[in-house]
Amino acid sequence: MDKPKELQIRQTFRVRAVLLGDRIDLNAWRAVDQLASNPLAIAVRGGGAAVLFRYGVAVLFDVTGPEKSPSSSSSSLLSGALT
């Protein structure tokens, strides 16, 4: 996924924290896919960004639509996934 060319500066945006499971394998992300490495921040398809923490939490910034929920491709990176 391409990194955002320009971050838009806005007065308000939505932030949502989600407990996905017991742990997230952060080593699975390639450096080219990362916006930042500590904590791991990635661009989200459709706009916005996610900050991922190894203890199973994802914080979503300005993410809307179907990308709010974890996809099946990310479930292999979770241990103890919550249903």
Locate the domains of the chain by residue range: 15-79
Rounded to 10 degrees, the C-alpha dihedral 33/35/41/46 comes to -70
Please tell me the distance from the alpha carbon of residue 19 to that of residue 56, in angstroms, as a whole number: 6
SS3 36: strand
Position 41: which residue type? A
d(CA 76, CA 66): 19
- pLDDT at position 54: 92
Q: What's the average pLDDT block by block, 10 residues per block, for the chain (83 residues)? A: 58 90 87 87 90 94 68 62 68
What's the whole-model pTM score? 0.72
